[in-house]
Structure 1
Amino acid sequence: MDVLSDVLERAGAGTATVRQLIRQPPWAMTFADAPSLTVVAALGGPVSIRIDDADGTPYSLAAGDIALISGTSRYTIGDSPSTQPEVVFQQGKPYFLKTGEEATAGPDLPARTCGDGGLPGATTMLWSAYQLRDGLSDRLLEMLPPVAIIPAGPRTQAVLDLLTTETGSDEPGQDAILARLLDLVLVVSLRAWWAKPDATPPAWYRALADAPIGEALRLLHEDPSYRWTVSNLADKVGLSRAAFSARFSKLVGEPPLTYLTGWRMTLGADLLRDTDSTIAAIAHKVGYHDTFAFSVAFKRIHGVSPSVWRRTG
C-alpha cells in the first residue's frame, strides 16, 4: 500500500457521511462542532463558506468547485455570506436557531438527498464529513489551510458526476459505493491542492516523488514493526548508508529512524485510544519488544506515559 493510502486508511477516511442538498436561496446552516474534515462540492447555484471561529472571510464556490474544510470547530455554509443561518448542527443533530428545538422533519433538513427540489436558481451541493482519528489525521491535515478550494476540472468533475448519481439513488450496496467514491473525490482533491504552485504539502508527501525515498517510506508504512535500521533500508532502495540517510533527512525533514519512531508512536497512540490491547501487546505491534523502551519513546513524543494517555486520551 502506498503511503498516502495508508495514512488515509489509518486515519479513518473510509468512514464518512455523504449528503446532497438542494435549496432555494436564501438559505444557510451552521456546523457548531465541525468534523475533522468536511468535503463540500458545488454542483449548481451559489455556495458560500464562512469560518466562524476565524476572521469570517467568506469563500465562494462555483459549479464544480470542491472545498476541503479542516482545522476549525465552527463554520457556516449558505447561498451568500450575508444570509443568516436558520439551522445549527450540534453533535450531529440539527436545531432551529430561533427556537432551540431539534429539527426532526421537513424538507429544510439535510438527508442523503433533501431540500426544495430542482427549482430554477436552486443551489445543489454535496456535503460530506470525515471524523478522522486525532493523531493520524495530523499527518493528513497538517499542511491544509482551514479552507482549501479546488477549482473545477475534468478529473474532479467525472468523479462528482458519479457521486451525485449514486447519492440520488437508493439501492443495495449504496453506502459502500458512496464511501469509495467519496474517498476518490478526497484523494483527487488532495492531489490537486498539493500540486498548486503555492501549496506547501507535507514533506513526506513531497518525498514520495523521489523513487528511493518514496520506496523507503512505503516500506516503513507497510511494516512499521519490522526491525528497520538505516543500513537495511539503504540496501532495500539501492543506496549507500550515508547517501540514503542524507537524502532521506533532506527530503523528509528528519532522519529515517526518527520518522519511523514518530510514526510508530502515532500508531501506538491510536491503538491505546481505540483498543483494549495491553500496553505490551501494543508495544510489540508497533515494533517494540521491550515495553519499557516503548513507554520511554511514547512519553518523549506525547509528553505522557501510555497508561496516562489511555486514561485521558
Structure 2
Amino acid sequence: MDVLSDLLHRARARNALVRQLIQRPPWSLTFADAPPLTVVTTLAGHASIRFDEAGTAPVRLSAGDIALITGPGRYTIADAPSTPPQVVIHGRNKHLVGGRQETLGLARSLGPRTYGDGAPGATVMLRGAYELRGDVGDRLLGMLPPVATVPSGPATRAALDLLATEVTRDEPGQDTVLDRALDLVLVLALRAWCARPGRAPAWYQALADPAIGDALRLLHEEPGRRWTVAELATQAGMSRAAFAARFTALVGEPPIAYLTGWRMALGADLLRNTEATVAAVAHEVGYDDPFAFSVAFKRARGVTPSTWRRQAH
C-alpha cells in the first residue's frame, strides 16, 4: 500500500455529514464550527468561499470545481463574496440571522440531505464534512493549505455525479455509501491537487522515484518490522550510503527518522482509540521493549504514553 493510500485508509470518512443545497442567489451559509476537513463543490452555478481571517482572499468555485478546506477557522460559503451571512451553522444546528423571506429557502428541506428552494437555474452545492481525529489524520491534513482548489475535470466529474446521485437517496447502507463516495471525491481531488507543480509534500513527490517509493511502501506496509537502512537499501537495489542519501534528499529526513515518526503517529492513535496496553501498542509499532517505546514516544510527544492516553480522553 502506498503512503497516500495508507493515510487515506486510516483516516477515511466515518459518519460523514454530506449535504446538498439547491438555491437561487442571494444565499449565504456561515460555518462557525469548522471540522478538520471539508469537501465543497458546485455542480451547477458558482459559489464563493470567504474566511474570517484577515488577509485571506475569497475563493471562487465554478461548476465542477472542488475545494478542500482545513479547519478550524470560521468560513462562509455564498453566491458572492459580498452576500452577508443569512444562516450560521454550529455543528448540525442552523441559526437564521436574516429576515424570514431571505432565509426561508435555505432552511427548507427538499428531500434527504437536500435543502433550498429547488428552483430551475439555482446553484447546486455539495458539502461533505470529515471529522478526522488523531495523528494519522493530522499527517493527512498537513498536506494541505487552509483551502486547496481543484478545477473541474473529467477525472473528478464522474465521482461528483455519483456523490450527487447518492446524497438524495435513503436506502439501507446509505451512510456507508456516502462515506465511500466522499472518500473517492477526496482521493481524486488530492491526487489532482498534488499533481500540480510545487504543491505536494516531499514524501508524495518521492513516491514517483521507483527505489524510494518502494521503500516508503514497505515502511507503511510493515511499520512493526525491525527495519534497518541496510535492509531497505537491499530491497531498493542500492548501496546503503546511496540509498540513505537519496531517501533523505527526496523525503526530507533519513529513513529511520521517517519510520520513527510514522510509528509514533500510529502509537498515539492506538493509545487514544483502543484499550491496548502500552506494551501491546509498543509491540504493534515495532518495539519489543515497552521502555524503549516510552522513551521514543516521550521524545516525540513530550509526555509518556500513559500521560498521552489520559490527556487524550
Q: TM-score, normalised by structure 2?
A: 0.92
User: Separation in 2 of the partners of 1:88 and 1:272?
Assistant: 36
Partner SS state of residue 265, structure 2? helix
Counterpart in the other structure of 1:141: 141
Q: Is the 8 A contact 1:207 1:213 kept in 2?
A: yes
Q: Is the 8 A contact 1:40 1:66 kept in 2?
A: yes
Counterpart in the other structure of 1:292: 291
Counterpart in the other structure of 2:220: 221
Counterpart in the other structure of 2:267: 268
**Residue 200 of structure 1, CA deviation:** 2.7
**Residue 15 of structure 1, CA deviation:** 4.8
Q: Is the 8 A contact 2:22 2:117 kept in 1?
A: yes
Partner SS state of residue 40, structure 1? strand
**Residue 12 of structure 1, CA deviation:** 3.5
Counterpart in the other structure of 1:234: 233
Q: Percent identity?
A: 63
Q: Is the 8 A contact 1:22 1:122 kept in 2?
A: yes
How many pairs are equivalent?
Answer: 307
Counterpart in the other structure of 1:39: 39
Task: Call closer, same or farther: CA 1:186–1:27 in 2, change over 3 Å.
Answer: same
* Residue 248 (structure 2) pairs with residue 246 (structure 1): no
Task: Call closer, same or farther: CA 1:114–1:84 in 2, change over 3 Å.
Answer: same
Q: Is the 8 A contact 1:107 1:114 kept in 2?
A: yes
**Residue 222 of structure 1, CA deviation:** 0.7
Partner SS state of residue 294, structure 1? helix
Provide, for residues 229-252 of structure 1, a one-character-per-residue CA deviation record: whole Å limited to 9, x for no partner: 111111222222111111111111
**Residue 111 of structure 1, CA deviation:** 5.8
Q: How does 1:93-242 map to 2 (within 5 A)?
A: 93-97=93-97, 106-107=107-108, 112-117=113-118, 119-197=119-197, 199-242=198-241
**Residue 11 of structure 1, CA deviation:** 2.2
Provide, for residues 273-302 of structure 1, a one-character-per-residue CA deviation record: whole Å limited to 9, x for no partner: 111211111111111111111111111111
- Aligned-partner residue type, residue 196 of structure 1: R
User: Separation in 2 of the partners of 1:116 and 1:83?
Assistant: 18
User: Separation in 1 of the partners of 2:178 and 2:228?
Assistant: 41
User: Separation in 1 of the partners of 2:121 and 2:52?
Assistant: 26
Q: Is the 8 A contact 2:13 2:179 kept in 1?
A: no
User: Separation in 1 of the partners of 2:61 and 2:36?
Assistant: 20
Q: CA RMSD in A?
A: 2.1
Provide, for residues 30-64 of structure 1, a one-character-per-residue CA deviation record: whole Å limited to 9, x for no partner: 11111111000111122110112343521111011
User: Separation in 1 of the partners of 2:85 and 2:121?
Assistant: 19
- Aligned-partner residue type, residue 263 of structure 1: W
Q: Structure 2 regions of 5+ residues with no counterpart?
A: none
**Residue 194 of structure 1, CA deviation:** 1.1
Q: Is the 8 A contact 1:40 1:127 kept in 2?
A: yes
User: Separation in 1 of the partners of 2:185 and 2:291?
Assistant: 42
Provide, for residues 83-121 of structure 1, a one-character-per-residue CA deviation record: whole Å limited to 9, x for no partner: 12222222332223469xxx9x9516996222211x133
User: Separation in 1 of the partners of 2:110 and 2:69?
Assistant: 21
Counterpart in the other structure of 1:63: 63
Task: Call closer, same or farther: CA 1:166–1:277 in 2, change over 3 Å.
Answer: same
Name whichever of 153-162 and 8-17 sits farther off: 8-17
